[in-house]
Amino acid sequence: MNPFPIIMSAPSGGGKTTIAKELLRRRSDLGYSVSCTTRAPRPGEIDGKDYYFLTRDEFLRRRHAGDFAESAEVHGNLYGTLRSEISRVLDTGKHVVMDIDVQGARQFRVAFPESVTIFVLPPTGEVLLDRLRNRKTESPQQLAARLDSALEELRAVEEYEYVVVNDDLERAVQSVGSILDAEVFSRERVSGLRHQVEALIQHLQAEIDHHSS
């Protein structure tokens, strides 16, 4: 099996993080890439598990060095995915689950074009607004910024190969799992067919060489 990254994006409050965590809990063929950020840790978050918490200077230094597969500034904070983290997970033979925004996904697809892209949609606009408002951890200005960001992210849905509506968590998790299984089967089938075609070519070439001699 050739492991590949799975990119999940959604408007803030769309539920992609919850889906990713549930998939990781259920499936042994998935691994998670820990991202970097310059924002302060939230209560209960652990450095190296939830995020690598970097100073802004350290983040910029590592970005300048080309360490990131993707990076972006979101609501005044920098976020990024280390190339080394992706390689670490893929080298274990596991698919790597990426929970990143639209900006990051665009960059990441350039670095890892074999990625599968999935956009997670809330069932309605009202549900999305309720999820954003219910956080109650942000100022009115921060909430307004998240609403603007959610609008821009929704406009990027056509850039994704798959769309999953998160109207029911269990159904959404199963849908993403089915997409992953289908991609694994498709890629293994294509790989097997390529080997079969190569064997046929070699056989025919040998027969041609025999008749030409």
Furthest C-alpha separation in the chain: 82
Domains in the chain, CATH or no CATH each: 5-186 (3.40.50.300)
Instruction: Single out the residue of 123, 130, 211 nearest to residue 167, CA to CA.
Output: 123
pLDDT tens digits, residue range 81-104?
Answer: 999 999 999 999 999 999 888 888
Q: What's the rounded Cα separation, in Å, for the pair 142 and 138?
A: 6
Give this prediction's pTM. Answer: 0.77
Please give the pLDDT value at position 13: 72
Q: What is the pLDDT of residue 200?
A: 60
Per-residue model confidence as pLDDT tens digits over 13-59: 788 989 999 999 999 999 988 899 999 999 999 999 989 999 999 99
Give the strand pairing for 52-53 and 68-74.
unpaired
Question: Could you tell me where the DSSP H helices lie in the chain?
Answer: 16-26, 56-64, 83-90, 102-111, 125-133, 140-154, 169-212
Task: Answer whether residue 76 shows pLDDT above 70.
Answer: yes
Question: What average pLDDT does range 47-72 have in this prediction?
Answer: 96
The percent of residues above 70 in pLDDT, for the chain, comes to: 88
